Structure 1
Amino acid sequence: MKIVVLGGGDSTERAVSLRSAKAVSDALIVAGFSVSNLDPIDFSVLDSISSRDIVFPILHGTNGEDGIIQTELEKRQLAYLGTQSEASKYCFNKWEARKRLDQIGITFAAGELITVDHYAQHPISKKPHVLKVHEGGSSIGTLIVRNPEKVNAREVDDVFFLDSLALIEELIE
């Protein structure tokens, strides 16, 4: 049995994923495990994985955290570490995840789903806040604004370039 570490992929968070996968792979080797690394730019590379292997997906963003890679692994009946595809799908959409967690009584910082046209006028944008793509990872497309009077408009535009909708939440430190 070997552990197959998946890293890279084709999302905007590819570079982060490659660094994370290398760190995981190195740690597993030091711990004495047999490890191989795959970069699933397309899913055909998954066909090279033996059913005796265990897959450790270290993929960030689209196709990594949204349930897509998990679905592909499940279709191939490959064992993997991490969240199942259905839960991954729900959690990738930050607004939907928030609504589901709210239904079971989990509280959050005040927040709302907005478009770029509503950002500057939104009451939360006037105080310290976090702006993040509504569907995506958290390494790219997340902006922490501690001083709203000095917010960088280009950084705000960068968030909305990645996703037409963003979640704005009060910053809690």
Structure 2
Amino acid sequence: MSKIKLGLIYGGVSTEHEVSISSYESIIKNIHKDKYDITSFYISKDGTWFTDGKRTKEVFNSLKEMDCVFPILHGKNGEDGNIAGMLEIIGVAYVGCKTLSSAICMDKVITKKLLEKANISVAKYMFIKKLNENFYWVQDNYDYVLLDKEILDLSVNTLLNYPVVVKPSRSGSSVGVSVANDYLELENAINEASIYDEKILIEEFIDGKELEVAVLGNNDLTVSNIGNIIPDEIVYSYNSKYKGNSKTVVLNTIEEKLESKIKNIVLTTYKVLDCSGLARVDLFLIGNEILVNELNTMPGFTSISMYPKLMESINISYTDLIDRLISLSMNDKNRDFS
């Protein structure tokens, strides 16, 4: 039986470049090499493509030769639908959510608005945009209100109350995320977030358990056990995820009715956002109240990443997980790659 020609794309023009490299290295280490003829496509931080270590200008032709492509890219210019759209145009099967779903899930504000329409609870929030060096509060009717200190401080106090969490709307791995306890910290947090995106989300701070649930599949969906994040900081930041002493444990003692409720919300979220292949849904648990935080359409695949660990908790090994994702992509009847 001939091997499947598999392309692995990694790196990328993204703040999560290094995370992508770690994910790629873990996949290379664990994949069934007797099943796949692997071609590696590396994207440098400046956007230069390399095929098996050699700089290439014929990347489209090389990608077209693949039976399937696994884009192991996190964050902007990869997980946001750009690569998915390119692969759709080329006409090659690929692992992960489709273009629109990827773009929606990358934008935390749009994600929240869609979930609210589906009656899925989210943390209270407001969002602002940076235009021509000015910041504007974008209201529910999409009127733009020019922000000054008084308006910003009053709106946050009225709608959310301090402390608040400030995030770039379209970034991942908690890059640019800060907690603000007062106006001065809020101003600094907004300036930090605006380095990564002109669209900035301000949320109420949730003092509850942070949960993660992994989903696998297109139509017949597999849901993992529930993971609980134990961060070593007040917020689960980039340093906390990858450089600190944060832990994630699988909850084995959760009450059955609550577990069922959480998993039903996770499945509904996956369907509302039109996901396919895989995703990780992040939630907050406050007592018995469940809030969806965000959804990650290409979660980390590093040796410490929660998505593969959650799947391992339901007896899907890392190697088997890779096989299943590739199979899901190649057998997706809803995509025409001919």
TM-score, with structure 2 as normaliser = 0.44
* CA drift at 1:158: 2.0
Rounded to whole Å, the distance in 1 between the matches of 2:105 and 2:122 is: 15
The residue identity in structure 2 corresponding to 1:39 is Y
Percent of aligned pairs with the same residue?
Answer: 30
- Structure 2: gaps (5+ residues): 50-57, 130-134, 136-146, 209-338
- Name the structure 2 match of 1:165: 199
Question: Residue type matched to 2:107 in 1?
Answer: N
Deviation at 1:52, TM superposition (A): 4.3
Highest CA radius of gyration, 1 or 2? Answer: 2
**Aligned-pair CA distance for 1:24:** 2.4
Q: 2:172 aligns with which of 119, 137, 141?
A: 137
Structure-1 residue corresponding to 2:79: 65
* Alpha-carbon RMSD: 2.9
Q: Deviations over 1:148-168 (max 9, x none)?
A: 269596555221222222111
| Structure 2 CA distance for partners of 1:152 and 1:27, relative to 1, 3 Å | farther
Distance 1:103 1:15, change over 3 A: same
The AA in structure 2 aligned to 1:134 is S
One of 93, 111, 126 as aligned partner of 2:162: 126
Q: Choose between structure 1 and 2: higher strand proportion.
A: 2
SS of structure 2 residue aligned to 1:99: helix
The residue aligned with 2:307 is none
1: distance between equivalents of 2:104 and 2:30? Answer: 30
| Match of residue 148 from structure 1 | 181
- State the match for 2:244 in structure 1: none
Residue 100 of structure 2: which of 70, 86, 90 is its match? 86
> Which residue number corresponds to residue 89 of structure 2?
75
90-99 vs 49-58, which moves further: 49-58
Bigger Cα displacement from structure 2, 70-79 vs 109-118: 109-118
* Distance of 1:35 and 1:101 partners within structure 2: 38
4+ residue runs of structure 1 moved beyond 4 angstroms?
29-34, 115-120, 149-156
Alignment match, 1:98: 112
| Equivalent position of 2:41 in the other structure | 38
Q: Which has the larger share of helix?
A: 1
Q: Amino acid of the residue matched to residue 167 of structure 2? A: K
TM-score by length of 1: 0.80
How far did 1:66 drift? 1.4
Structure 1 Cα separation of the partners of residues 30 and 12 of structure 2: 21
Q: CA deviation at 1:170?
A: 2.0
